[in-house]
Amino acid sequence: MGVFDRWRRGPSTGGDLVLDRLSAATGGAQAYTFSYAALDVLAFLVDDPLPHVLYCTFGLSQVESSQRVAGTQTELTLRIPMDDEVFPPEWPAQQLARMARNVVRSGVEIEPGHYLSSASGSLAGFVFVADPLLGCAEGPTGRVQFT
């Protein structure tokens, strides 16, 4: 990267912070992208500490902006054990996209300590905690919590 590349590209955005944090946590693994109406869900095949798939929303926080906002922004994460499949399954991405839609529609943020009951499916519900590897980060748009 040359001296002037940063200026040619423009100021860093909230999305740069999210992608940098994910790259560091996954060892630079290539992301599989599931695209939905208002956001993407990125999936990474990760080997450490155990083989698993890390899913993370991309677009719940201010990923396109470089302007600071008040409060803590959130990106949702979900980890599942890795199967023998070559590609990550889509159901976790669909679930995160549904949760993100509910956050946007209701205006109620999901934070560590919250839970969500599921009336159908094989999962009874979800409990939200701060992601142990991604945690919280300070970026150009403010604080981003990976939950």
DSSP string, the chain: --TTHHHHH-S--HHHHHHHHHHHHHTTPPPEEEE-SS-EEEEEEE-SSSSEEEEEEESSS-SS--S--SSEEEE-EEEEE--S-SS--SHHHHHHHHHHHHHHHH-PPP-TT-EEE-SSSS--EEE----TTT-EEEETTEEEEE-
Regions of the chain with pLDDT less than 50? 1-4, 8
pLDDT the model gives residue 1: 45
pTM: 0.84
